[in-house]
Structure 1
Amino acid sequence: MTPEELNAARGPIVPDVAADGLRVLFCGINPSLTTAVTGHHFAHPGNRFWPVLHRSGFTPRRLRPAEQDELLGLGLGITNVVARATARADELDAEEFRQGGADLTAKVERLAPQWLAVVGITAYRTAFGEPRARIGPQDRTIGGARVWALPNPSGLNAHWTVRTMAEEYARLREAVLDRSPADRLPARR
């Protein structure tokens, strides 16, 4: 992508990959410029979402960003706390996160997933006013959805490796399986 294409990507809204009644709705911080240009979530080459999703057992194979719609058949979806595309999440201010939290709450109440998984603890803390929240399951529910905060898969989040992130995502996967044993996710390969 050219610098001109990336610069032009500031602002467009990237459609969610979502449907009613998902097992897990993954929620990114906000779209990258690469995501805005391609229309595919977690599309930046340095983002580790897709390999982590597979290594944790959520997908039977490593999907490419262009295959994001295959998530729906697995009971998974993707949205964002803030819809505005930026080069870096630190370009967003606290008010955008708070408004994003309110918008996300309305979306989750409407879509009724079993779990909302926010990928980015700082985004979760700011959007929901919980400054002491830690990675893992949260006490909060939204509608009937349980909430889990996951590590941000951005390549900039260097203190989490693909292995350690996959372990944390796998903890969520196990919780999903425990909640709906008759409606299992695909077996990990």
Structure 2
Amino acid sequence: MCEVDTPLHRLPDQFLPNLRLVFVGTAASTRSAEIGHYYAHPGNRFWRALHEAGITPRRYQPGEFAALIALGIGFTDLSKSGAGMDHQIAAETIDVPGFRAKIEKYRPRTIAFTSKKAASLFYGRPSAAIALGRQPRDASLPEIFVLPSPSGAASGHWTLEPWRELAAWIADLVDKR
């Protein structure tokens, strides 16, 4: 069963125990918050990247985000009540302890931050100190990947390679089952 969210949540968490992958953003975009779907802005590369990297067997649409739970893929944000671009999210809405509690409760095997900003908030380090791709292992946490933001606003920093690295890791997880 998926976690129940409060009415203040912009987007519902998609969590089940032991998911193979959970995508973690900073907060819902304004468009995503309006329609209730993750990565919903037409200029966002998330859904295309997910398929092109080989993480999903086909290209899903934002309105199908809940269907990915059947593939072992979940979603959440560090701010469940904020919405907008990263620089518009009020610091007091960022809930890293709440996110860590979800990790403890649901124990996903892999976490993928969908921006260096989200990862920097989690790690408490500047974005410039965060590398893309698989992060150094911390035995108290699942495997962690940092992906370039799929937002159209971040297109100057776009590369599919970290998404492909994540896809290879996920495929290896499936092969080991």
Sort the TM-score into its range (normalised by shorter chain): 0.7 to 0.9
Task: List runs of 5+ in structure 2 lacking aligned partners.
Answer: 1-7
| Number of residue-to-residue matches in the alignment | 168
Distance of aligned partners of 1:159 and 1:177 in 2 relative to their CA distance in 1, 3 Å threshold: same
Distance of aligned partners of 1:23 and 1:68 in 2 relative to their CA distance in 1, 3 Å threshold: same
Give the corresponding residue for 2:108.
113
Paired residue type of 2:19:
L
Give the corresponding residue for 1:4.
none
Paired residue type of 2:165:
R
Distance of aligned partners of 1:181 and 1:12 in 2 relative to their CA distance in 1, 3 Å threshold: closer
Which stretch of structure 1 is more off in the superposition, 144-153 or 131-140?
131-140
3-state SS in 1 of match to 2:24 = strand
C-alpha contact 1:26 1:116 (8 A) present in aligned 2: yes
C-alpha contact 2:37 2:62 (8 A) present in aligned 1: yes
* 1:46 maps to 2:40: no
Give the corresponding residue for 2:61.
64
Flag the structure with larger Rg.
Answer: 1
Give, in whole Å, the separation in 2 of the partners of 1:143 and 1:105: 11
Identity %: 32
Distance of aligned partners of 1:137 and 1:120 in 2 relative to their CA distance in 1, 3 Å threshold: same
Q: RMSD in angstroms over aligned alpha carbons? A: 1.9
Task: List runs of 5+ in structure 1 lacking aligned partners.
Answer: 1-10, 184-189
Give, in whole Å, the separation in 2 of the partners of 1:114 and 1:136: 16
Give, in whole Å, the separation in 2 of the partners of 1:179 and 1:57: 14
3-state SS in 1 of match to 2:44 = coil
Give, in whole Å, the separation in 2 of the partners of 1:93 and 1:139: 29
Give, in whole Å, the separation in 1 of the partners of 2:60 and 2:139: 28
Give, in whole Å, the separation in 1 of the partners of 2:105 and 2:44: 29
Give, in whole Å, the separation in 2 of the partners of 1:26 and 1:154: 14
* 1:173 maps to 2:155: no
Q: TM-score, normalised by structure 1?
A: 0.80
